[in-house]
Amino acid sequence: MQQFDQPSVVAAWSDQQRVAGRRVALVPTMGALHEGHLALIACAREHADSVVVSIFVNPLQFNRADDFDRYPRPIDDDLALCAAHGVDAVYAPVAATMYPPGFETHIEPGPLADVLEGAQRPGHFRGVTTVVAKLFLATRPHVAVFGEKDFQQLTIIRRMNVDLDMGVHIVGMPTVREPDGLALSSRNRRLTPAQRAAAVCVPRSLQAVADAFGAGVTDPAVVAATGRAVVDAEPLARFEHLELVDPVSLQPVQRVVAGTVAVTAAWFDDIRLIDNRSLASAVTSVAT
Ligand code: PAF
């Protein structure tokens, strides 16, 4: 496995792959790799001949310094996992390489970034689009694989890719979950055992939403309230938001329909967990 920390060097490697007729897939990460990332790597391998994983904790997308400082950075474990899973190259630049003195150019996302997560974390998606654009330019992938857990991020990156004619094939990978339903996240490793047990309320709240819709409830306020009640009942959790949105515009729906996405966030002390679920068809009638 090759390791790079300079954009020009990983770009040269990617160019060599292309010249040799090999398709390149990028898996962008902030490290602290878990089974969810390994699923992204396996998916990348299905789409390409050469897989490059980027590992960079991007300061531009953190709006709280403590969150950035506490973000786990087990780089040796990450490199070992990449090597063990057949990754061809890791691109792990340092912040001074990505954002040297004088850096001032950003990719400004549109209204998709103003809602949900973006409303709670001003500037977050501007940081994401900027770093992803830089990673695309450095690694020059044919394909890039992102997790659907970060549903809004995936939507915004797809938009950027189209709007800026980047020509990368963006693949969304279904969320990988623990047996109890908790979505895998690098932040989970910061949960205490009690918080970890409590965190199951997040996927359960989405299950309650799906059940309400499945039972024929279509008023978004009523559907959202059933989900919120699950989180509110958990003493270690602090509800942040649960919204029913259109999967394309990310705007709140007037009526819940099949394909509406429930998007939620909850806090466990200073740890914020997000999750989402696309709602399948409601049961419309039961024959008697
Ligand atoms: O999803 C993530 O881990 C990050 O937001 C990403 C896409 C690697 C950009 O820093």
pLDDT digits (tens, 9 = 90+) for 90-119: 999 999 999 999 999 999 999 999 999 999
CA 169 vs CA 30, 144, 252, 253, 261: distances in Å: 21, 6, 28, 29, 23
* C-beta of residue 225 within 8 angstroms of C-beta of residue 243: no
Which CATH architecture group holds 2-173?
A: 3-Layer(aba) Sandwich (3.40)
How many Cβ atoms are within 10 Å of 178's Cβ, its own excluded? 14
- Over residues 211-269, the pLDDT tens digits come to 999 999 999 999 999 999 999 999 999 999 999 999 999 999 999 999 999 999 999 99
Which residues are catalytically annotated? 37
d(CA 225, CA 221): 6
The domain covering 186-278 belongs, at the CATH homologous superfamily level, to Pantoate-beta-alanine ligase, C-terminal domain (3.30.1300.10)
Domains 2-173 and 186-278 share a fold: no
CA pseudo-torsion sign 11, 43, 116, 59: negative
Ligand 1 contact via 28 beta carbon (within 6 Å): yes
Q: How close is the Cα of 186 to the center of ligand 1, in Å?
A: 11
Cα separation, 282 vs 262, whole angstroms = 14
Calculate the CA 177 to chain-centre distance.
13
Please list, in sequence order, all residues whose beta carbon lies within 8 angstroms of the beta carbon of residue 197, skipping any fewer than 6 positions away: none
Query: Using a 6 Å cutoff on CB, does residue 129 contact ligand 1?
Result: no
pTM of the model: 0.94
Enumerate the domain spans of the chain.
2-173, 186-278
